[in-house]
Chain A
Amino acid sequence: MLELEDVHSYYGGSHILKGITFRVEEGQVATILGRNGAGKTTTLRTIMGLVPVTKGFIKFNAEEITNKKPYRIARMGVGYVPEERAVFPSLSVYENLTLPMAKGREGLWSLDKIYSFFPILKSRGFHRGSQLSGGEQQMLVIARILTMNVKLIILDEPTEGLAPMLVREIAQIVLELKKEGISILLVEQNSRFAEEVADCHFIIYNGRIVYGGTNMEFKADDKIKSQYLGV
């Protein structure tokens, strides 16, 4: 589904990714764990084409997407939910939600289905995006990529700063999407959330992937957790 091979990239003049290699299989939920500054967000931005790759390659559905334009990668079926500020404050909630929709481009979920999962987006449709609470904005951003024809969803710390109830809600959505066969790659600090939803985990340390394992293996491996995550 998604394959990274020895990917290097720079951000703001410094060498952040120093050879990232991992793959996510179809229908899998994979997490990238690691300390702050290890290169988690840069990995996601690099996959999305927002940070140029200087060496190595990225493949999506067996097709090379290295250094393609972000809009092309998105149209191939990669939905990206960044860490922050992804709601357009000048747009209404409805406009935010339907922005990726275009004639001839089928969405993963219909608006009705989205509204049944996120009723708040319907009742507050005419509010400005910036008037929603942090949790509601996160729901909006996740819902928005479901109006695209996504096959792989990339989530950057979806539960950061959210109340436990909202974290549960996001976990349910992730599991529902997984049930539908969507692959998900997520960066997470909250390892309890990660262990609940994921099939496999990768640990990134100083710009390299230093660990990869299934959820069962990872749960049992306290040594690796304390070595790289400080848990």
Chain B
Amino acid sequence: MAGDACFNQAPPPWLSRKISSMNLQFVLMQLFNGLILGSLYVLLALGLSIIFGMLGIINFAHGAFFMLGAYAAYTITAYVIPDFWLALVCVPVLMAIFGAFCEMVLFRRLYELPSLYIMLLTFGLMLVLQDAVRLLFGSMGVPFSTPKSLTGLVNLGFMYYPSYRLFLIVVTSLTACAVWLFLSRTKLGCIIRAGTDNPKMLEALGINISKTMTLVVGLGTGLAGLAGVLAAPIQNVRPLMGMDLLVDCFVVVVIGGMGSLGGSVVGGLIVGQIIAIGVMFWPPMANTLIYLFMAAFLLVRPRGLFGREAFHE
């Protein structure tokens, strides 16, 4: 479904002339589109993964955070200052603050209870956010145009590609690299990785994990918000836009391996490409394909790409 949202725009005229026979340029174009979708998955799955590891819960509100990011960008550009770049910088920060707030005010009260309760809370949060946005902006969705400086096509040498989409790939790659550097090279990142392995043990080593948990939820929400801003010009900005993407992200996380950060990146890119390739051959099946792939993959490797066997004990 998220795939449709990404690809249901009419192809540019120069492409529709050639679309009858699937040529190399069309294939390349689709692979690039797969990369776009994949990079959005990566941003979302990274946040989902660190939250899952640290808090031991599946954050059902993650898709709603993504949607909220897109609506925040819409609100800023339509009502405050019509500047996409401002939204691109502000929205992830605002969303990170919102996520940290949710952790401190809502999630924290339930850590002592079985994790089912907190998952229900995130599920409820998702419904509340979606309906709040529906009340404020309507269920039809809102228009969001590509920033002026990024309209048009770029000549890549072998094909023309929309500059905004190229920009999206660059931003998500840089963000993924920055997150990776933060997690692998800093002390705080080290603590977060240890927390995804075994948060109780981390506490027994004298580390105050409640601060780390706030940070992790904030970081994850910020990444979802960034994905929301970036997706706004190419997807329909509507209250349920995050719901579809969230379900796909579960597939990403399962294929990549629960709790594995590298798995989120690789899994995101794989699922993006599967949808893109599926669209080339039989569009209605494209989204079903990822579930088939997941089922087949899990039969061969039940713990996912980089998941650890002992993780679910």
Task: List A residues at the B interface (Cβ < 8 Å).
Answer: 48, 50, 69-71, 74-75, 80, 82, 85-86, 88-91, 95-96, 99-100, 102, 105, 130, 144-145, 148
Contact = CB atoms under 8 A, between A and B. Distances in A.
A99 B195 CA distance: 11
B193 A100 contact: no
Interface in B175-232: 187, 190-191, 193-194, 196-198, 200-209
Contacts of B18: none
A95 B196 CA distance: 14
Given A50-B200, A82-B201, A71 B190 contact: no
23 contacts: A50-B203, A50-B204, A69-B208, A71-B204, A71-B206, A71-B208, A74-B203, A74-B204, A80-B204, A85-B198, A85-B310, A86-B201, A88-B194, A88-B198, A88-B201, A90-B197, A91-B190, A95-B194, A99-B190, A99-B191, A130-B308, A144-B205, A145-B205
Nearest to A94: B190
Nearest to A141: B201
Contacts of B190: 91, 95, 99
Contact of A75 (B187, B196, B206, B209): B206
Contacts of B200: 50, 70
A130 B200 CA distance: 18
A114 to B, nearest CB: 15
Contact of A148 (B187, B201, B206): B206
Which of B190, B193, B204, B308 gathers the greatest number of chain A CB atoms within 10 Å?
Answer: B204
Interface residues of B, number: 20
A95 to B, nearest CB: 5
A130 B191 CA distance: 17
A130 B308 CA distance: 10
Contact of B204 (A82, A96, A102): A82
Contacts of B198: 85-86, 88
Chain B facing A: main interface SS: helix
Given A85-B310, A95-B190, A90 B207 contact: no
A100 B187 CA distance: 10
Nearest to B183: A90
B207 A71 contact: yes
A197 B294 CA distance: 53
Contacts of A95: 190, 194
A18 to B, nearest CB: 23
A102 B212 CA distance: 15
A148 B205 CA distance: 8
A144 B191 CA distance: 14
B203 A90 contact: no
Given A90-B194, A91-B194, A99-B191, A48 B205 contact: no
Contacts of A48: 204
B110 to A, nearest CB: 16
A82 B203 CA distance: 13
Given A80-B204, A99-B205, 16 more contacts: A69-B208, A70-B200, A71-B205, A71-B209, A74-B205, A86-B201, A88-B194, A90-B196, A91-B193, A95-B194, A99-B191, A99-B194, A99-B207, A100-B207, A102-B187, A148-B206
A69 B198 CA distance: 16
Contacts of B204: 48, 50, 70-71, 74, 80, 82
Contacts of B187: 102
Nearest to B53: A90
Nearest to B195: A88
Contacts of A71: 203-209
A131 to B, nearest CB: 13
Nearest to A150: B206
Interface in B18-45: none
